[in-house]
Structure 1
C-alpha cells in the first residue's frame, strides 16, 4: 500500500514552530529587515521559515527568491530545510556561485563569446607577476601576497589607490613595501590578461561591471529576483555589498542576518558596518534581535556574555545579550598548566577521561588560535592513542615546510658528531629553510610556516631533555614514530581546529587552549580594532560548546622555562566564574612584572615628535608620523640610497628588496656603529644583518658607497646579534 504524500504545512503551521523573536522575523516577509542573531539562537531556522511563510502565504513566488550565504555547506543546509518545509524553487547560493551563474549566462549577450576560464587558484599567476618585477618570494610569502591581492580586489582598490588604502588599514604585505605591492597588483592583472583567465574576485567584479554598464541585463536579473535574504551579513565585504546593491536596484525587499560579535574575517575585507548601518540605508527597516540561545548551557552562555561586556557594563559593537534556553550544565573550568607540553598532555588526558565516561569522539573539539599550535595536541593525542581529525588545514606532518624540514633533519642525522646541543643543531639545520628565532611581523602563511618550524625546534628541546646522549638520529626516529601513529586509517576522532576554522560548528565538549596573552589576543594585534577582533574570535570559540567548556593556558613555553606568561585579558571579566587563574598578576595583587611587560609591548607606538599613534609599518620603522619632519642627516641618507641602488643593480633585484626607504631613514637617524645597534632597527632582519651589516655601518660612518660593495660579510660580531 502506497503512503500518501506528506501534507504541506500551512502558513500558520510554519509560524507556530517558532519562538516570539523568530516569529517576528518570519511573519513580516516583505520589506527591509535586519536580524541581529546571537550565537546558537536559530538564525537559519528563522530565515528559512521566513521564506517558507512568504511562499505559503502567497507573498513570494519561490523562483523569485535569492538566498545568499558564504559557504556551499550553508547553502546546502538552507536548501534542505526549505525542502523539509515543502518549498521548492528558491535559489540558495553563495555570492560567487550566484554571480558565476549570471556571468556565464549573460556574457555572450553583454560581451560576446564564451566567458573566460576561471583559475582554480591564483598562486602561479601571483608568482609570475612577482617574477616580472624581480621579486624573490618563497611559497609561503606568495600565499600571503595572494591573500593581499584578494583583499585589494574585494575592497574595490586599483593599483593606484591601493597604497593609501592599505596604509590606512595598516596592511603589511610580506617581503615588500606598499609601493611594490601596488606594482605587483598591476603585474598580476597583466599576467591574467595574457593567459585569458579570471580569478574568483573577477567573477564578482565582472558581474558588477556588466550590471553597471548594461541596464537591460540588470533589469532581467531584477525581474527574476524580487526578494533577497543574506545570511552571515557581518562577513560581507565592499565588493559583495556593491553586487547586492546592483541586484536590488534601489528596492528594499531584503532581509539580512548576522552577528557583529562574530566578525572574525576583517583581514579578508569583511566588515559588520553594512549590518550595523542597514536601517540607516533602508528607510522603514525593522530590527529583530534573536537572543534565545538553544545551543549552550546557561553556564556557557554566561561566560560568553561576560566576554562581550565593556568596562561600562554595556555590550560591545552591537552584540546581543544571550538568554540561555537549555537546562543547567557544568560550570566552565579554567586550568593553568606549567608549560605547553604539560598543557597538551593535560588536554589529551581530559579527552581520554571524557571518552571513557561515554562521550563520543566526534562530539569533542580542541580549539586554538594558530595552526602552529596543533602539533602539540596532535602529538599528545597520538601518544594517548586517541584518534583525531584536523579541520581547516593540513595535518602537521603533511605540511610542505614540515616535510622539507624532516628531509633536512634526516640528512643531517648522518653527520651528527655530538659537538652541538641537539636544539642548537636543529635550529642550524632549519636555518636552511629560513627559520629564525625572531617571530615574523605578519600573519598568514608566513606566520604559519614559522609556527610549524618552531614546533619542531620545541620538540627537539623536549627530546633533548631525556639525556645528554640524545642526538639528532633519536629525534628523527621520534618523528618517524609520530608520523606513523598519525597516519592511521580514517576513523571517528576528536576535532582539532583553529578558531577561524571552527566558525559555524558546534560540539558537546570544547577545550579552548592557549588562553594567554600573545595567543589570545595574538601578539601582532597591536591596535584597538585588532584586539577587539581577537576578543570576538575567542567569543566564537566559547560559543561552540553545547555543554562542557574547558579553558587552558600555560605559564611558560617549555619545561623549566620562566613563567612569564599571563592569562588573556579577555578572561578578566569572567574571573568571578573562572577563578584567580583568569586574573592578570597586577589585578590579583601578585607580581606585576610579566603583566607590565606585556602591556608595554602591546601599547601603540608613538611619534617621537608629536606623540601621535603610529599606524603603519613605515611610520613605526622611522618612529615618526608623516606630519613631523625627519631628524636624520640628509647626507647619510643619500649615501645609503646610493649604496642601496648599487646593491640592487649588482643583485638584479628592486631597490626596496634590499631596504625600504623607511628602513633607510631609520638607519640614518640611528647612525649605528655596530651590528647590535643595526639589529635593533625595524626592517633589519638576521639575513640582512649577515649580508649588509658591515657595508651599512661603513656607509653610515662616511665611506664611499661604491667602495664598500666588495666588502665581505663579517662573522666577527655574531655574538652581538640578538636572538633570531
Structure 2
C-alpha cells in the first residue's frame, strides 16, 4: 500500500490535535486513514518510549457500520504490528458506546419508528419525513438543548418539505416530547440516547489516537461522545466527504466540540473509478447542495480507461439472468470481486440468492457482517447502505424501480436528494465496471437523470 503524493503530505503530519481529511469518491480516503493509522501508531509508541510512560497507547478506529468495521479491521491488522504497548480497537460507534455504558435495551430502527409514527401523524406532513426529522433533532442536540432546533440553521438536506417555526414547535411539543416520555416510561433507549449516555460515562479510559472514517454520517452527539473520552494529549482524525452524506445529520464542528483544526487536507485524485464510471455517475450528484466539508467529485481526475457502463431494462428476473450470463460468466471469480448492491435487504435478495445457488455460483453476504471474508475474489451481496467505504471490481445494481426508491416529487425533496447520493455512492464502489437494472414500466427517477451517452442500453 504505497502512499500517493497527496497521502505523503498527510503522513508527514504527526502533531497532536484535530485533523480533517476531505475527499471525493474514489480518492482513497479509507486507504489514507489506514496509512495514517499505521504512522500514528509508530509515532505514539515512540513518544511513549521517549517519555518513559507505563500506560499502553490507546488507539480507536470508528467506522460507519459493521460491514465497514470488518473491512477496515482486517486491513488495520495488516497495517499495524502487534505490540503489548499498543491497544488498538476497531469498532462501530454503536458497539463502542454500548461497551462504555453497559448492557441496556435499545430500540432498533423499526421499533423506534413504531413509537414515533402515531405521534408523527399529528403533523400535516408525511409521517416518514417527520420521523426522520425527529431523529435529526435528537441526534444533533443534547436533551437539555432541544430548543436550539428553533433557531439553529438547518443544512444538509433538501428544501422540501419545509419546516417553518410553527411546525418546528409542533415537532418538539407533539412528537419529540411525548416520544421521550414514552421511552422513559418503558425504560428503553434509542440509539440517540446511547450516544448521549456514552458522553456522560466517566469510567472510560481515555484514547490517545482516534480515527473516524465516513464522519459525514456520524451525528453531533456521537462525535461529542468520542471527544469526551480523549487523553490530555491526543490526535483525532476525521475522514469524510459531505457530498456522500446519506443521512441528514448536519451539524457544525464547533457545536460538536471541535473549535479548530490543526490541519485540513483535501484528496482530489480519483484512483478507483474509470473515466467511463465517473462520467456515468456525474448527473447523480450534479446540483446537489454541499456544505463546507463537501467535495464534489472531479470527473477529470480519473486516468484509467474502461468499458461503458451497462443499463439493463426488463423484468427483475430477466435482469438477473442477463447479468449472470454476461458479467459473471466473463470474469475470473477467483481474483475479481463482483458486488450485487440493492437499496433494501431481506426478501429483496431472495430471488438473487436462489438463482446464484441454482447456478452453483458461491457468494457471501456482507450486510451487517463484522467479519470480513479473506477471499479476494467472488460474489458478494450487500445493501447500498452497508457498501459505504468498500470497493469491488464490478458493481451491479439491479431492480432500481420506484417501489424500492420512493421519494417526494417537489424540487429539493430531501428523500430524492438522499437517493441520488446513495445511488452515486453505490456506483462509485466500482473499480472496473458498473451495471444497473430497471423495469421499463416502473423505472426509478434516478434512471432518468443519467446521460444516455454514458452507457450502453440493453433491453431484455
TM-score, scaled relative to structure 2 = 0.70
CA gap 1:377/1:98 in 2 versus in 1, 3 angstroms:
closer
Q: Whole-Å Cα distance in 2 between the matches of residues 56 and 523 of structure 1?
A: 48
Q: Residues 236 and 274 of structure 1 are in contact (CA less than 8 Å); yes or no, is this contact kept in structure 2?
A: no
1:65 to 59, 74, 79: 59
| Aligned residue number for residue 454 of structure 2 | 577
Q: Residues 396 and 435 of structure 2 are in contact (CA less than 8 Å); yes or no, is this contact kept in structure 1?
A: yes
CA gap 1:580/1:210 in 2 versus in 1, 3 angstroms:
closer
User: Displacement of 1:20 after TM fit?
Assistant: 0.8
Question: Is 1:289 aligned with 2:287?
Answer: no
User: Displacement of 1:43 after TM fit?
Assistant: 2.5
More helix by share: 1
In the TM superposition, what are the counterparts of 1:375-414 in structure 2 within 5 Å? 378=352, 381=355, 385=359, 392=367
In the TM superposition, what are the counterparts of 1:635-714 in structure 2 within 5 Å? none
Q: Whole-Å Cα distance in 2 between the matches of residues 122 and 376 of structure 1?
A: 23
User: Displacement of 1:304 after TM fit?
Assistant: 3.1
CA gap 1:571/1:390 in 2 versus in 1, 3 angstroms:
same
Q: Whole-Å Cα distance in 2 between the matches of residues 93 and 162 of structure 1?
A: 31
Q: Whole-Å Cα distance in 1 between the matches of residues 311 and 28 of structure 2?
A: 28
Q: Whole-Å Cα distance in 2 between the matches of residues 130 and 304 of structure 1?
A: 35
Q: Residues 120 and 175 of structure 2 are in contact (CA less than 8 Å); yes or no, is this contact kept in structure 1?
A: no
1:523 to 407, 425, 429: 407
CA RMSD of aligned residues (A): 5.0
In the TM superposition, what are the counterparts of 1:559-638 in structure 2 within 5 Å? 568-572=447-451, 575-578=452-455
| Aligned residue number for residue 341 of structure 2 | 367
Q: Secondary structure at the match of 2:26?
A: coil
Q: Secondary structure at the match of 1:286?
A: strand
User: Displacement of 1:329 after TM fit?
Assistant: 2.5
Question: Is 1:154 aligned with 2:133?
Answer: no
Question: Is 1:351 aligned with 2:324?
Answer: yes
Q: Whole-Å Cα distance in 1 between the matches of residues 114 and 419 of structure 2?
A: 34
CA gap 1:374/1:186 in 2 versus in 1, 3 angstroms:
closer
| Aligned residue number for residue 182 of structure 1 | 176
Q: Residues 27 and 50 of structure 1 are in contact (CA less than 8 Å); yes or no, is this contact kept in structure 2?
A: no
User: Displacement of 1:345 after TM fit?
Assistant: 0.4
User: Displacement of 1:309 after TM fit?
Assistant: 3.9
Q: Whole-Å Cα distance in 1 between the matches of residues 393 and 5 of structure 2?
A: 26
Question: Is 1:86 aligned with 2:81?
Answer: yes
Q: Whole-Å Cα distance in 2 between the matches of residues 245 and 279 of structure 1?
A: 7
Question: Is 1:545 aligned with 2:430?
Answer: yes
> CA deviation digits over 1:580-612, x for unaligned, max 9?
99xxxxxxxxxxxxxxxxxxxxxxxxxxxxxxx
CA gap 1:391/1:100 in 2 versus in 1, 3 angstroms:
closer
Q: Whole-Å Cα distance in 1 between the matches of residues 427 and 75 of structure 2?
A: 27
CA gap 1:20/1:206 in 2 versus in 1, 3 angstroms:
same
The number of aligned residues is 413
Question: Is 1:207 aligned with 2:198?
Answer: yes
Question: Is 1:329 aligned with 2:320?
Answer: no
Question: Is 1:265 aligned with 2:247?
Answer: yes
Question: Is 1:507 aligned with 2:392?
Answer: yes
CA gap 1:578/1:363 in 2 versus in 1, 3 angstroms:
same
Q: Secondary structure at the match of 2:183?
A: helix
Q: Which moved more, 1:92-101 or 1:225-234?
A: 92-101
Q: Residues 26 and 50 of structure 1 are in contact (CA less than 8 Å); yes or no, is this contact kept in structure 2?
A: yes
Q: Residues 273 and 430 of structure 2 are in contact (CA less than 8 Å); yes or no, is this contact kept in structure 1?
A: yes
| Aligned residue number for residue 228 of structure 2 | 246
2:10 to 25, 32, 37: 25
CA gap 1:539/1:23 in 2 versus in 1, 3 angstroms:
same
> CA deviation digits over 1:232-284, x for unaligned, max 9?
11111121122234335997832210122321122xxx338659x99994154
Q: Residues 263 and 271 of structure 1 are in contact (CA less than 8 Å); yes or no, is this contact kept in structure 2?
A: no
User: Displacement of 1:206 after TM fit?
Assistant: 1.9
Q: Residues 154 and 201 of structure 1 are in contact (CA less than 8 Å); yes or no, is this contact kept in structure 2?
A: yes
| Aligned residue number for residue 555 of structure 1 | 440
User: Displacement of 1:144 after TM fit?
Assistant: 11
Q: Whole-Å Cα distance in 1 between the matches of residues 119 and 444 of structure 2?
A: 42
| Aligned residue number for residue 39 of structure 1 | 25
CA gap 1:258/1:520 in 2 versus in 1, 3 angstroms:
farther
> CA deviation digits over 1:546-605, x for unaligned, max 9?
222123333314xxxxxx987734313xx3323799xxxxxxxxxxxxxxxxxxxxxxxx
Question: Any stretches of 5+ residues in structure 2 without a counterpart?
Answer: 49-55, 122-126, 164-169, 369-376
Q: Residues 54 and 60 of structure 1 are in contact (CA less than 8 Å); yes or no, is this contact kept in structure 2?
A: no
Q: Whole-Å Cα distance in 1 between the matches of residues 192 and 329 of structure 2?
A: 48
Q: Whole-Å Cα distance in 1 between the matches of residues 355 and 223 of structure 2?
A: 43
| Aligned residue number for residue 280 of structure 2 | 303
1:56 to 22, 32, 42: 42
Q: Residues 515 and 552 of structure 1 are in contact (CA less than 8 Å); yes or no, is this contact kept in structure 2?
A: yes
Q: Whole-Å Cα distance in 2 between the matches of residues 569 and 126 of structure 1?
A: 34
Q: Which moved more, 1:498-507 or 1:118-127?
A: 118-127
User: Displacement of 1:39 after TM fit?
Assistant: 2.9
Q: Secondary structure at the match of 1:55?
A: helix
Q: Whole-Å Cα distance in 2 between the matches of residues 263 and 53 of structure 1?
A: 28
Q: Residues 232 and 258 of structure 1 are in contact (CA less than 8 Å); yes or no, is this contact kept in structure 2?
A: yes
Q: Whole-Å Cα distance in 2 between the matches of residues 512 and 382 of structure 1?
A: 15
> CA deviation digits over 1:357-389, x for unaligned, max 9?
354398333334455993795499479747577
Q: Whole-Å Cα distance in 2 between the matches of residues 130 and 226 of structure 1?
A: 39
> CA deviation digits over 1:12-50, x for unaligned, max 9?
xxxx92111111121102243211133333323322222
